[in-house]
Amino acid sequence: MVAACTSVPVTGRRQVNFIPASTMQSQSFSAYKEFLTQNKLSTNQDNVALVRRVGQRIQAAVEQYMAEKNMSDRLKGFQWEFNVVESKEVNAWCMPGGKVVVYTGIIPVCKDEAGLAVVMGHEIAHAIAEHGAERASQTMMVQAGMTVGAVAVQQNNTLTNQLILQAVGVGTQLGLLKYSRLHESEADKLGLIFAALAGYDPAEAPKFWERMQLATGKSNTPEYLSTHPSHDTRISDLKKWQAEAMTYYNRSKEKMN
């Protein structure tokens, strides 16, 4: 258990993860390839160019941040890729290893490049924080015990694929339903920092979630029964983190100038 403990970048939270990153990446690359063959890629070149431009900027920011923190080893094996899929779903996700999909349904809610950076920063943050592996580890610990679970993930590709797809929320109306509120809030903060480092104004994050609230409607489910923070809680937290994020944003603007 001690050997399986790692720390999440930015927040420093200790997490239990006994699934090797190489295993998660290998299986996610396979699942990603299969997903792309079963779904229609967007032919809107403007949208595709936009997603890839934002993705590459955040990728560079992540790589810079991890290098500065001597954590580049956590990016070992990453094979970044950014694609747009035709779907009305308000959805986006990032698999372990940097495989990203943005659904066309969320692009109008993003409104502009900065809004899209909020979404992609959040999704990429889940991968950087290894939330998928942590979630899969938790599932296996509950279902079979840690020792059996660690062996199972090495021997059962189908099981691992299912856990990866569930973790990132592929096939759900909102991409991150399978993550906990803790993971969601953590990805909000990491994503805010990454987007700011990429040169996107942190003030746009609360604005995006306000638009998301209008697009998806207010849930009647009490927050304590939901896997997501309420929109109001999320917006409040993002405003609370603005000062810290602005230090990264200002630094990125200085480099650009």
Cα separation, 215 vs 19, in Å, equals 36
CB 128 within 8 A of CB 62: yes
Tokens coding 193:
């920092």
CB neighbourhood size of 64 (10 A) = 16
**Which residue spans within the chain are E strands per DSSP?**
5-7, 14-16, 81-85, 92-95, 99-103
Helix, strand, or coil here: 212?
A: helix
Annotated catalytic residue: which of 123, 130, 134, 184? 123
Cα separation, 134 vs 8, in Å, equals 11
**Residue partners of 93: CB distance under 8 A and separation at least 6:** 100, 101, 123, 126, 168, 169, 170, 175, 176
In whole angstroms, how far apart are CA 204 and each of 46, 87, 243, 246?
Answer: 21, 24, 13, 12
CB 200 within 8 A of CB 117: yes
In whole angstroms, how far apart are CA 164 and each of 27, 123, 124, 170, 203?
Answer: 8, 14, 15, 9, 32
Which of 233, 229, 237, 168 shows the shortest CA–CA distance to 202?
A: 237
Is 123 annotated as catalytic? yes
Residues with catalytic roles: 123
